[in-house]
Structure formats: C-alpha cells, structure tokens
Chains A and B, each alone.
Chain A
C-alpha cells in the first residue's frame, strides 16, 4: 500500500519508491529509503503529511506520498 494510506499515529516500513533519480535523491537526503521506518505524525486527506523518519520530522505532499510503497508494522 502507499504511504498516503497509513493512518495517523501508525508506523510502517518503506518498501519501494516509484520515481526518477531526482525524487530518489531527495528522499535519500532526508533518510526516506527502503527499509526505513516511518511514523505518521500529522495527516489529513487534503494536505501534506508530517512523518517521523530517522529521528527528524519530514513534510511530504500527498502526490509524493502516493509514490512511496510501504508495508504496515
């Protein structure tokens, strides 16, 4: 399932990223790589979400969250 479907307060493990080199590099910089654990701190269906990744908080738009596949934890 995609990251955008994870509920508020739940954690998940990143499985794969659907995107080009540019997107991948942006995500790598922020520690959002396959195998990383993410927790959804803030989310509402319409706007971007806030994730906790590698000890920091990341804001990510819905469009991008839809391209990150995760498995529940």
Chain B
C-alpha cells in the first residue's frame, strides 16, 4: 500500500496516447514494472517528488473504454473503482480528440476525481489543429491542461497542475442525457440500486447505466442480491430495443459519442489541411504486393540481429559465468576444504545451471529488444495487416504471426504472447504450432553438428532445418484446423497506431522486464534440470558416487535402455550418449551440447579441457554418419519442447493439451527423422512402413477425437 503522505495518481488513456512517454518524463528512473496481482497485465509504478510532496504514479493499461471486455479494461476499472488513487489522470491524444473523449466521458460518469491532460499538443499543431483548452474544460466541468512530451517546461507545469488538483479533488457534475425511454428506466432502477451503490462506494446512476448496458459484473451484483431478477431486466431491455430499434448499449454509446463529438467540434478547429507522412509510408509497407517482401525483410533483420549479434555476446557471457559460477565456486569450495561431493554438486551442478541460464541471456535480450522496437515504432500493427490474408489460409488471424516469430527466439515467451489473440481456438492452434518454430536454444546443437559434418554448407543445413520446422508447423496447423480445432479465426480489428521514433528508454525498460521474467522462469527449470542431470550422471548402482564415471551412471543405463528405439534414425546401440542428449534436451535444448560434450569426452578420456566447452568434432564424426547426424537434428528440431515450454502450454490451455502436444511432437519427430534416415541411408522398408502407419494413425485419432468435440463457435457473433 501507499506510504504515509504519498499521493497516488492513476494514469489512464487510450492505447497510443503517449501515456508512457509522459510517465517516463515524470518519474525518471524510479519505476518498477510488475504484474497486476492475479492477472498478467503489466503494471508500471513510478515515483517523483514535487514541492516536498511524494507522488506515486500507477500507469494503468491503455484502454478504449471501461466496459470490461478484456483483462486490461477489467484491471483499469477495478483500480479506478477501488478509490486507491487520489486523482485519476486521463491522458488524451490531442490529434484524435473525439474518440479519446469517449473514455473521458465514461470516467466522468463514474463520479471520481478526474483531470484531463491533452498530450501531444505539438503534434496536433503540426497536423493543423487548434484546441481551445479553456472551452473544453468548461464543457467537461473538469480541469484540463495541454502538454507535449517534447517540451521540458511542461513537466513542471504538469507537476503543479497535479499538486493543485490533488487538493481540489475535482469531480465533474455534468451528466450525459439519454433518450426518454432509457432515462425513465434509469430513474426507476436507480432507486432500487441506491443502497447497493452506496455500500460499494459507487455512483448510483453509473451503476444503473451499466446494468442497462448488460455489464456482466453489475448484472450479477444486482441479481445475486435479489434487487432485480434476470427475467425482469431482460424484459425491460427488450422493450427499449423494440421502441428504439437498437440495443440499449449501442444507444448509450451513440449518445455518449454524440455528446463528445459535439464538444470536440466546438473546441477543435482545423486551421489547415495536412497530409500525414504516415499515409505515404503506409501505402508502401501495407501495399498488397510490396508489403509481403517488406515484411519478410524486416523479419530477416530481426533474426539477423538476434542470432548474429546475440552470438557475439553469448561466448563472452558463457566464459565469464563459467569462470565465476563453476571454476570460481569450485576453487572457493576446495580452498575451504569442502568434500568433493559437495563441491561437485554446487559447482558442476547448480553452478553449471546458472552458467547455462546466463549464456542464454544475449539471445533472449536481442529478440525482445527487436520485438519491442517493432511494437513501439508502429510497424507491428502493419505487419498484422499484411499477414492477415496469408495467416487466414491456415485459419489464423494475422496477429498470430507474432507468437510464431517470437517462437524463433524462445518457445516460452511465444506461448505467453498468444494472449494477444482474441479467442481460445486461435490460441490453441497457435500454441500447437509454436514449438515447431525452431527456438534459439536448438541453434547451438545445429551449429555443432553442422560444423562437424557439413562444414562447407553450415548455413544451408541450418536454413533447411528452420524451413522443415515451418513446413511441418503449417501442415500440422492445417491438420488440426480441420480436426481438433474447427471454427473460424477471429477477425482482425484494431487501431492503426501512428508511427513514431522508438523511445530508447521505454524499449530498454520493456526489454529488461521481459528478460528478467525469462531468467526467473527458465532459470528455475534449467538449474533444477542440470542439478538432477548431474546426480543421474554421477551415481551408478554398483559404484555409488563417482563423477568421473558417467559411462556406468544411472543416466547411461537409462540411455542404453532407450537407444534401440532410435535405431531407425541411425543411432547405433553403442552411441547411447546421443539418447542421453535427447533426454537432457527435454529439460533444455541447449543442454544437449553440454551433455554430449561431457559424456563423449569422458568415454574417450580425451578432450578433457571442459572449460573450452566444445565436443571434439572428430569424436562426433566417429559416432554418426552424416545422414544419421541430419536425422538426429531433425528429431531435435521437432520432438517435445523443453519442460518450461510444456508447462507454459499446460498453464495457458490445459494439462491434457500440453501432454497431447508433447506426445504429438515426439511422434512426428520420430516419423520424420526415421523417414529421412531410412530413405537416405538405412533403406529398411519395415521402418518406412511403421513410420507411415504411425502417421496415418495420428490423423485417424485426430479425426476420431474431432467427432467428439463440438465445433468451436466462440468467434462467431450471436
């Protein structure tokens, strides 16, 4: 809760109204990014001091209205109704006053203390608009200030403005009028709702209006407390609909828009006509033909920066983390005389886990950095437009490509990114496809094998794997679209944001928050996985603890036991470390390299300089044929994603969904790598037959399950 004497300002406004720029300007470096308790909407809090008074700003999510249709709107409305804020600051985009004023009208109707900040006055001026601020303030009966984030003088003006109004507590007394039929109903129902409204500290007229709008929360409050029953409410609303020939919620919206449009017509004057530059840019990037190559070029740049620039830092991060957490901890523990078993688990177990997480940071950082850049510049929305037609072919909305692209970085944030999609069917199909977008963690494995087997065509091999992943994803998408998840994709509808120069600070803060989240999430799993692995690889049934004897360990026994299953992809029985690698890959794909390194080098008792961290390429060449190596990579590309990703899918959809997906992917991986190896080298018709039979079986099972699931109609309006 807020500190003593601290005043709380809640910032609210439409998306793209320049809210976060103002927030950054006011709070400087003192801010925290977190999640709203219980939900996943991002919350940013910041503090500043002005005239010996401390202020806290709570930056609410960008919303268009307070009718809770999304988590963002729900969170904002709950916060405003909780009365935790001393002042609600409504920030408006001056270049688009009439639409922005709709939210203002809703806030005023709540009878909470509201002030209006007209942001981006400079831009309105550039667009040839002149706004009469005093006139607007008189119309709204609410304090109004005009600022632009580029003008540094405006910061102190704004702070003074907040200081004054925190004292005055301005609650506007204007009331928006509705047609007589609705006004009659308001006056009848308001009397009934008065007591409850008082109890909940809400305005009775506001509560009544929301009931007429069929607001689910208000409806249940009223019905659960037996103030009115559902039939009665429905009957009255139907009556209004019959007289006015439109649903009450639309009539209310119409009247509010009518009122704010009237105000905006009076206070905004267009002094000259300006053709915005963004229209010219849009006619190129949103062009029906040019738009697609431009989109792919942009994605290539995202990819190049993430992988190539990330790679420069990966080695550096890896080496430093290894020196500190593995070697450093090891020598520290030996110097204090810790028993070797303890120092082994702490340095080679936990320490190596931490090293792995840290070495992964550069990829994640650059991926999130590039995505934030695209979002902040306004291009992301254009990309959704361009891709809508293409994604529609596999039954997904254009927006669904974002998680797919994120999937090339890491599957876990990609699964979380599906939250931007509107219906559950779209989310399920997207999550199903995302793991086949080859994630960054698989890249080190490809790089290692390509260097050993295909040194002259490394790029081509890696590219072919990525393409195979995309191809299998598209085919899987088509399969589940006609079987498990039938129905229509949700239609694209969103505002086209203005382009602007990306804000460095905003992007860095955003990227850092996402990286931190990743470290926390993946860190736990990877450290635990590496720790368990080190136990399994250093204990054996006959020998007890002996870290130098991996070949006899529990892990090796398990690997030997499973290996026959992989004969079909070209892994011979004596190449069981390859199976062990797949096993550790379930915890984290990049740990496959580490496992192969550790086990092979122990077996050959050469290349012991583990600090260098690479398997002797010659050892690899003696274990795989080139075809088997490629089949092994195909398997790694497609088989079940790491535990972190599986648990994310389980959390987002359901446990069954996560399990079905993992099983499906593993089977498909086996089928495809078997087919490849048997066609290229093995030439064993029996395996080809088994693989094809399995493929048909999967399709049949999906078809049978599909019959028992009703078609999803959630995206189709009533």
Contact = CB atoms under 8 A, between A and B. Distances in A.
Contacts of B389: 46-48
Contact of A50 (B65, B258, B385): B385
Nearest to B247: A24
Interface in A16-39: 16-31, 33-36
Contacts of B95: 55
Interface string A34-73: 1110000110101110100111111111111001000000
A6 B96 CA distance: 24
Given A56-B99, A58-B495, A23 B717 contact: yes
Contacts of A55: 95-99
Contacts of A26: 69, 493
Given A33-B254, A42-B282, A59 B381 contact: yes
Interface in B696-718: 717-718
B288 A44 contact: yes
Interface centre among A20, A41, A48 (most CB of B within 10 A): A48
Contact of A27 (B246, B398, B488, B493): B493
B99 A67 contact: no
B496 interface: yes
Given A25-B69, A54-B98, A63 B249 contact: no
B257 A47 contact: no
Contact of B496 (A18, A36, A59): A59
B495 A36 contact: no
Contact of B246 (A31, A34, A67): A34
Contacts of B258: 35
Interface residues of A, number: 40
Interface string B276-318: 0001001100101000000000000000000000000000000
B64 A63 contact: no
A35 B69 contact: no
Nearest to A23: B717
A56 B67 CA distance: 20
Contact of A61 (B67, B253, B493): B493
Contacts of A44: 288
Given A33-B257, A59-B492, A64-B491, A50 B97 contact: no
A58 B64 CA distance: 13
Contact of A57 (B67, B214, B491, B496): B496
B99 A63 contact: no
Interface string B385-403: 1101100000001100000
B64 A29 contact: yes
Contacts of B249: 21, 24-25, 28
Interface string B75-109: 00000000000000000000111110010000000
A56 B493 contact: no
A50 B398 CA distance: 14
A35 B99 contact: no
A59 B386 CA distance: 11
B354 interface: no
B238 to A, nearest CB: 14
B493 A59 contact: yes
Given A54-B96, A54-B98, A55-B96, A42 B250 contact: no
A30 B389 CA distance: 22
Interface in B343-401: 381, 384-386, 388-389, 397-398
B491 A28 contact: no
Identify whether the interface residues of A are mostly helix, strand, loop, or mixed: mixed
Interface in B549-604: none
Given A54-B98, A56-B96, A47 B385 contact: yes
A30 B488 CA distance: 22
A31 B492 contact: no
A72 B381 CA distance: 28
B1 interface: no
B385 A31 contact: no
B494 interface: yes
A47 B496 contact: no
A16 to B, nearest CB: 8
Contact of B65 (A22, A23, A29, A48): A29
Contacts of B96: 54-56
A59 B384 contact: yes
Interface centre among A33, A34, A56, A63 (most CB of B within 10 A): A56
A61 B492 contact: yes
A28 B718 contact: no
B250 A28 contact: yes
Contacts of B97: 55
B288 A47 contact: yes
Contact of B493 (A18, A30, A36, A47): A30
A56 B100 CA distance: 10
A34 B249 CA distance: 12
B717 A19 contact: yes
Contacts of A50: 282, 286, 385, 496
A25 B491 contact: no
Given A46-B288, A59-B496, A20 B718 contact: yes
Contacts of B64: 29-30
B415 to A, nearest CB: 24
Given A54-B98, A63-B488, A30 B717 contact: no
A60 B496 CA distance: 10
Contacts of B385: 47-48, 50, 59
Contact of B495 (A34, A46, A57): A57
Given A55-B96, A61-B492, A22 B717 contact: yes
Contacts of B388: 47-48, 61
B292 to A, nearest CB: 11
Nearest to A28: B253
B401 to A, nearest CB: 14
A3 to B, nearest CB: 12
A55 to B, nearest CB: 4
A67 to B, nearest CB: 7
Nearest to A66: B491
A59 to B, nearest CB: 5
A56 to B, nearest CB: 5
Contacts of A56: 96, 99, 495-496
- List the 10 shortest-distance A-B pairs measured between CB atoms, nearest first: A20-B718, A29-B64, A61-B491, A19-B717, A61-B492, A20-B717, A64-B491, A57-B496, A47-B389, A54-B99
8 contacts: A21-B718, A25-B67, A33-B253, A33-B254, A46-B288, A50-B286, A57-B495, A59-B381
Interface of B: 64-65, 67, 69, 95-99, 102, 214, 246-247, 249-250, 253-254, 257-258, 261, 279, 282-283, 286, 288, 381, 384-386, 388-389, 397-398, 488, 491-496, 717-718
Given A60-B493, A62-B491, 10 more contacts: A26-B493, A28-B65, A42-B282, A47-B288, A50-B385, A54-B257, A59-B494, A60-B492, A61-B397, A64-B492
